[in-house]
Amino acid sequence: MSIQLSKPLLRYTLAGLLAIILWSLASVVTRGSSEQIGAVLAGAIIYLSGGIAGLCLHPTATYHMLASVSWRVAVILFFYVTDVLAFTLCIGLALTQRSAVDVTLINYLWPALTVIFTIVVFKQPTNSKVWLALMMALSGLMIALDPEISGFSDRMAASPAVYALGVWAAVSWALYCVFSRKYADHIKGNMSAVAFICVGSVLAAAYLAQPSATLPAVEHLWLPTCLGVGLIIAYTAWDYAIRLGNYKLIVNLSFFIPILSTVLYWPVFDIVPTATFWIGVALLCVGSRWMYQQSEQLARPPDSNC
C-alpha cells in the first residue's frame, strides 16, 4: 500500500529535513569560522545575526516571549542559552580538529539523556530495553571517540574544559527539552530569537573586553552570518514541521544527524575516518533511536492506538 503525502504535508516535512541539514552543518561552519577569527568572535557574529534575523522574522512572537517571562520560562531559557554557549565554545576552542569531532559526537548524547531525564521528571515506567539501548549509544560513542581509549584520554587531558563544555551542551539541551515539555503552557512566542540575542551579546561583550579586540576582515564575516541566519531558519522550519509535517518521519531522521554531520565534517577538514569510527557513530545513532522508541511506547496509554 502506497502512502501519498498531501502538498502541504510534504512541504512542511521538507522544512523539517531542511532543519536537519542546517543543524548538521552547524559544527562544521562553527569550527571553520573559529579557525579564521576565533571562537568567541565567531560565536558572537553567528548568534547576533541569527537573533536579529529572528526578530525580523517573528517580531510579534518575540515580544510575546519577553512579555511572558516567568521563573519557569527563565529556567528553560537558561538551559537553552547555556547549551548554545557551551556547544559553540567547545567546537571553537578545541585544540585540534579531531577534538572538535569528539565534542560534536559527545553533544549527540542529548537524545539519550533526554529520555533519562524524562523518565525521572515525569516518573515514566522503564524496562531493560531502555537501558540496553542506552548502553548501545554509550558504547558507540566510546568506539567512535577511540576504540583503544588512550588517544581520547590524551586529547581530553590536553583540554579538559573543552570536553566539559561538550558534556554540558548535551546535558543542558536534554534538560531544555524536558522542562520545555513540562512547562509548555507557560511558553509563548519565539524563544530562539531571544536566546540567540542573549548568547550573541554575552560573546560580543567577552570579545570586546579583550585588549587585542579588532574588527575582522569583511570576507570572514559572511560565513558566520549565513550560519546564524540559517540556524534561526532551522528552528522555525522545525517548529512548522513538528506541528504540520510528517512528525514520525522527521523525528526518526533527526536521530541520524551525527552521521550527516560527520559526512560533512571530514571532507572539509581532510581527515579520513576509519571503519571502526563509522561503526561507533552508527551504534550511537541506532541506540539513541531505539531508546527513544522504547520510552515512547512505555509512556503511551495501554488502550492507545496511536
- pLDDT 10s digits, 53-102: 998 888 887 777 777 777 888 888 999 999 999 999 999 999 988 899 89
* CA separation for the pair 223, 204 (Å, rounded): 17
Asked if pLDDT for residue 204 goes beyond 90, the answer is yes
pLDDT at position 203 is 96
pLDDT at position 258 is 85
- pLDDT 10s digits, 209-244: 988 878 778 888 999 999 999 999 998 888 888 778
- pLDDT 10s digits, 65-78: 777 777 888 888 99
pLDDT at position 175 is 93
- pLDDT 10s digits, 138-181: 999 999 887 655 678 888 999 999 999 999 999 999 999 888 88
pLDDT at position 306 is 31
* CA separation for the pair 32, 92 (Å, rounded): 8
Band of residue 299 on the pLDDT scale cut at 50, 70, 90: low
The CA distances from residue 172 to 82, 85, 87, 145, 166, in Å, are: 7, 10, 10, 21, 10
Band of residue 45 on the pLDDT scale cut at 50, 70, 90: very high
pLDDT at position 2 is 45
Band of residue 126 on the pLDDT scale cut at 50, 70, 90: confident
pLDDT at position 5 is 55
pLDDT at position 249 is 85
Asked if pLDDT for residue 1 goes beyond 50, the answer is no
> What proportion of the chain, given as a percentage, has pLDDT over 90?
44
pLDDT at position 269 is 77
Band of residue 302 on the pLDDT scale cut at 50, 70, 90: very low
For the chain, domain boundaries: 26-299
Band of residue 305 on the pLDDT scale cut at 50, 70, 90: very low
| 267 contacts 91 by C-beta, under 8 angstroms | no
- 142 Cβ partners below 8 Å, 6+ apart? 149, 152, 280
| 119 contacts 126 by C-beta, under 8 angstroms | yes
* CA separation for the pair 141, 106 (Å, rounded): 7
pLDDT at position 90 is 95
